[in-house]
């Protein structure tokens, strides 16, 4: 029997690439928020199970967990991928409480408490792996989307907390920090990024692809990093390097 993996936000972009990678070895449950058509396309192409889950809504998360437990006895791998960018980029001096609350609910509170629930099941079996997909925005100040940056900085600490708590129980926790990845999230600014990358923004002078992130998840899923819990994997073309 294949191990079971959950990939939140699995209907497009990085999430879809992770689903496509993991179905080779896992029974994959891919969550989606509102785009059921895209999720069904992923299911048709990969054989993944699709379930709705709006991470920012506790009731939706409860319904997802109930549906999950009705179909699967255990979860072996959780990939916290789902997240959102601000609906509108605003200077931090013009930012709104509404955007702040929405991003923190979706990008931080949702995955934090979903992980709490999944980890409890893993504790009972003393095994499991958990991945949080963070961002270079956790350490890179973008003053036009401060709320997003703060959610990703907080995710980095969540990784440390869960890694420390779960390590004695053979449950490994990792953070993957993608850089500039070719997805819908950056479509409106992709041309500007391409120009900056050509000018030397990244040591590896190309934009990342969703498959680059999926390969990092593969290494974790295969147990290649099981003695490295709490590790941050930079999938950013070398952006995190400090070069003089």
* CB burial of residue 34 (10 Å; 0-12, 13-18, 19+): exposed
Whether residue 22 contacts residue 49, with contact meaning beta carbons closer than 8 Å, is answered with no
Whether residue 73 contacts residue 62, with contact meaning beta carbons closer than 8 Å, is answered with no
Map tokens 């936000």 to a residue.
9
CA pair distance 33, 104, nearest whole angstrom: 16
Q: How many residues does the chain have?
A: 244
Active site residue 148: yes
Residues 6+ apart with CB under 8 A from 40: 50
Q: Please pick, among 32, 148, 193, 227, the residue that the annotation labels catalytic.
A: 148
Q: Annotated catalytic sites, by residue?
A: 148
């Amino acid at each position: 029997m294949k191990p079971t993996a959950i990939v939140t936000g699995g209907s497009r972009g990085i999430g879809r690439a992770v689903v496509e990678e993991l179905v080779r070895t896992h029974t994959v449950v891919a969550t989606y928020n509102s785009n059921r058509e895209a999720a069904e396309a992923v299911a048709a192409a990969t054989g993944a199970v699709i379930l709705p889950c709006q991470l920012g809504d506790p009731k939706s998360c409860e319904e997802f967990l109930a549906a999950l437990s009705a179909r699967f006895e255990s979860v072996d791998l959780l990939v916290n991928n789902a997240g959102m960018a601000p609906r509108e980029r605003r200077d931090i001096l013009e930012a709104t409480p509404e955007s702040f609350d929405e991003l923190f609910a979706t990008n931080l509170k949702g995955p934090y408490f979903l992980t709490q629930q999944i980890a409890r099941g893993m504790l009972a079996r003393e095994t499991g792996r958990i991945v949080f997909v963070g961002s270079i925005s956790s350490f890179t100040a973008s003053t036009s989307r401060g709320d997003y940056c703060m959610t990703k900085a907080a995710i980095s600490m969540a990784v440390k907390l869960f890694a420390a708590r779960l390590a004695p129980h053979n449950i490994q926790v990792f953070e993957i920090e993608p850089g500039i990845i070719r997805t819908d999230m950056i479509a409106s600014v992709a041309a500007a990024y391409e120009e900056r990358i050509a000018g030397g923004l990244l040591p590896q002078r190309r934009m990342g692809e969703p498959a680059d992130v999926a390969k990092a998840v593969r290494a974790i899923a295969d147990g290649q990093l099981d003695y490295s819990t709490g590790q941050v994997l930079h999938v950013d073309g070398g952006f995190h390097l400090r070069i003089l």
